[in-house]
């Protein structure tokens, strides 16, 4: 079939024939190809024959794409979903061919039927580590013992992570060029369909925690399920949610610190998952390392800190000074009183200005950020003092109201201070005790070691 054009170097995933479904239920026979660009983007190419080109093109653009169902040359089932057309080509009046190119959210190959002894292998992206288990790497010249496996065991989940064969090269590419690269594979046993769904949730959680530890976005991009005989019976490819590699590690790649962090963070994640909306928060945390203006990154940090402190204040029922219902009922009278007071104190103040100023009265019932931060830091024994809280709020207020750092602080120093402030809170919430990298002083420190 006709290859993709203008998409660069691609890795073929699967080819097949089947039917393209539109969101209105109409379907068309197609031949198709699924490919990956690098480690992150999943693409589809579909060719529609035996249709009138103009009618098909009009129908596709108006109805929208739903999915592709079909089989490959070996008869394996294929399901492609999350289709987004980026380019389309319509033939001439004598050529009824329609070619569609674009992105796919997910591609499943094979039957999703699992049993005891089945093994799942997930390709991990951008995770650098030194293992805690030795592995013998065989070659034509010699066998070499390497610490290239990380064995992980929690109360409700266990797996192992193995480095790719060219790990040393991959590591240097990431550190020197950045980008998104497959670095390892996660291996775990699956026993049933329901167990598989549970495993997916555990791996998402693990990737989020690893992202915090390494200060870069770590995710998985594809999965293969092998039966007890080692035959691949199911494959899953996704349009992986990734970010370019960021080289500043909060927790270094030595297994002792990594395991200590994961041990405490794994339990704390479950304990505070609903209170802090951990999934959303940790995605936001990874984004604070994205390359952009330091003002923007600092604002993102401020938002996350505010979010954590506000959620904890709500948990403690200390978000407001007065009962919310009572305050709202009396708010009109409060605003009226504020207007009268402003007009009395400032006789030349315009009435319209006084009304706008009185609209701020609704904020009087909200406890200030520094109060909430003190409560949060006390609850989790964060190594942050009151002067640092005052400084954080001072910088945050300037950024929030002007998108600029205060005039009396150095921009870079202020950003690094906010970076370190957030890191200490996150590590404390995860109850971590061990070594970490202090971005503010650019040194390794220990957190709450007795």
Of 136-145, 336-345, 395-404, which gets the smallest average pLDDT? 136-145
Class of domain 11-110: mainly beta
The most confident of 132-136, 235-239, 351-355, 436-440, by mean pLDDT: 436-440
Contact 17, 32 (CB under 8 A): yes
Instruction: For the chain, give the secondary structure using H, E and C.
Output: CCCCCCCCCCEEEEEEEEEEEECCCCEEEEEEEEEEECCCEEEEEEEECCCCHHHHHHHHHHHCEEEEEEECCCCCEEEEECCEEEEEEECCCCCCCEEEEEECCEEEEECCCCCCCEEEEEEEECCCCCCCEEEEECCCCCCEEEEEEEEEECCCCEEEEEECCCHHHHHHHHHHHCCCCEEEEEEEEECCHHHHHHHHHHHHHHHHHHHHHHCCCCEEEEEEEECCCCCEEEEEEECCCCCCCCCCCCCCCCHHHHHHHHHHHHHHHHHHHHHHCHHHHHHHHHHCCCCCCHHHHHHHHHHHHHHHHHHHHHHCCCCECCCHHHHHHHHHHHHHHHHHHHHHHCCCCCHHHHHHHHHHHHHHHECCHHHHHHHHHHHCCCCCCHHHHHHHHHHHHHHHHHCCCCCCCCHHHHHHHHHHHHHHHHHHHCCCCEEEEECCCCEEEEECCC
Tens digits of residue pLDDT in 90-110 = 765 556 678 888 899 999 999
pLDDT at 424: 97
List the domain boundaries for the chain.
11-110, 118-267, 292-319+367-450, 330-365
Nearest-angstrom CA–CA distance, 48 and 2: 12
CA neighbours closer than 13 Å in the CB half-sphere of residue 44? 32
Nearest-angstrom CA–CA distance, 419 and 406: 17
Give me 177's structure tokens.
Answer: 């060029």
Q: Indicate the pLDDT class of residue 215, thresholds 50, 70 and 90.
A: very high
Tens digits of residue pLDDT in 228-287 = 889 999 999 987 788 889 888 999 988 999 999 999 999 999 999 999 999 999 989 988
Task: Tell me the whole-structure pTM to 2 decimals.
Answer: 0.87
* CB proximity list for 267: less than 8 A, separation 6 or greater: 155, 431
Of 205-214, 363-372, 373-382, which gets the smallest average pLDDT? 363-372
Angle between helices 294-315 and 411-429 (to 10 degrees): 30
- Judge whether residue 433 has pLDDT over 60: yes
Nearest-angstrom CA–CA distance, 154 and 114: 23
- Judge whether residue 365 has pLDDT over 50: yes
* CB proximity list for 389: less than 8 A, separation 6 or greater: 370, 373, 374, 377
Structure-model confidence comparison of residues 12 and 142, the more confident one = 12
Tens digits of residue pLDDT in 287-335 = 898 877 899 999 999 999 999 999 999 999 998 888 888 888 888 888 8
- Judge whether residue 387 has pLDDT over 50: yes
Q: Which residues sit opposite 446 in a β-bridge?
A: 435
pLDDT at 410: 96
What single string gives the DSSP state of each residue in 231-271? Answer: -EEEEEEE-----------SS-S-HHHHHHHHHHHHHHHHH
pLDDT at 450: 45
Tens digits of residue pLDDT in 37-89 = 877 789 999 988 765 544 555 555 666 889 999 999 999 999 999 998 887 77
């Amino acid at each position: 079939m006709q290859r993709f054009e203008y998409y660069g170097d691609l890795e073929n995933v699967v080819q097949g024939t089947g039917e393209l479904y539109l969101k209105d239920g109409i379907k068309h026979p197609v031949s198709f190809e699924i490919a990956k660009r690098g480690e992150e983007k999943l693409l589809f190419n579909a060719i529609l024959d035996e249709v009138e080109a103009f009618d098909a093109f009009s129908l596709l653009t108006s109805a929208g794409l739903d999915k592709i169902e079909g089989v490959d040359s070996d008869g394996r089932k294929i399901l492609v979903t999350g289709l987004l057309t980026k380019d389309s080509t319509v033939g001439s009046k004598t050529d009824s061919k329609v070619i569609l190119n674009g992105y796919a959210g997910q591609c499943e190959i094979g039957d999703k039927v699992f049993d005891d002894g089945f093994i799942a292998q997930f390709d991990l992206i951008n995770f650098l580590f030194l293992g805690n288990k030795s592995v013998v790497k065989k070659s034509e010249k010699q066998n070499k013992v390497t610490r290239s496996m990380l064995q992980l065991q929690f109360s409700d989940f266990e797996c192992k992570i193995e480095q790719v064969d060219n790990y040393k090269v991959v590591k240097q590419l990431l550190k020197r060029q950045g980008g998104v690269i497959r670095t390892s594979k996660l291996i775990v046993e699956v026993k049933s369909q329901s167990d598989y769904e549970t495993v997916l949730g555990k791996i998402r959680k693990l990737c989020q925690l690893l992202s915090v530890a390494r200060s870069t976005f770590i995710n998985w991009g594809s999965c293969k399920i092998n039966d007890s005989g080692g035959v691949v019976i199911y494959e899953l490819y996704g349009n992986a949610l990734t970010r370019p590699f960021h080289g500043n590690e909060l927790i270094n790649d030595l297994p002792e610190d990594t395991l200590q962090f994961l041990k405490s963070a794994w339990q704390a994640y479950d304990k505070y998952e609903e209170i802090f909306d951990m999934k959303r928060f940790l995605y936001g945390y990874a984004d604070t390392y994205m390359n952009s203006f330091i003002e923007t990154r600092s604002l993102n940090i401020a938002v996350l800190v505010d979010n954590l402190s506000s959620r904890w204040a709500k948990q403690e029922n200390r978000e407001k000074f007065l009962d919310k219902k009572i305050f709202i009922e009396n708010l009109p009278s409060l605003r009226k009183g504020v207007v009268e007071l402003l007009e009395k104190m400032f006789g030349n103040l315009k009435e319209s200005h006084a009304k706008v100023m009185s609209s701020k009265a609704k904020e009087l019932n909200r406890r200030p950020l520094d109060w909430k931060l003190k409560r949060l830091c006390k609850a989790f024994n964060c190594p942050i003092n009151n002067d640092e809280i005052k400084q954080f709020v001072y910088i945050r207020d300037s950024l929030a109201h002007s998108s600029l750092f205060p005039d009396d602080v150095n921009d870079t120093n202020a950003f690094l201070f906010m970076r370190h402030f957030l890191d200490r809170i996150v590590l404390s919430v995860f109850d971590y005790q061990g070594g970490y990298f202090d971005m503010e002083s650019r040194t390794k420190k220990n957190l709450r070691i007795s």
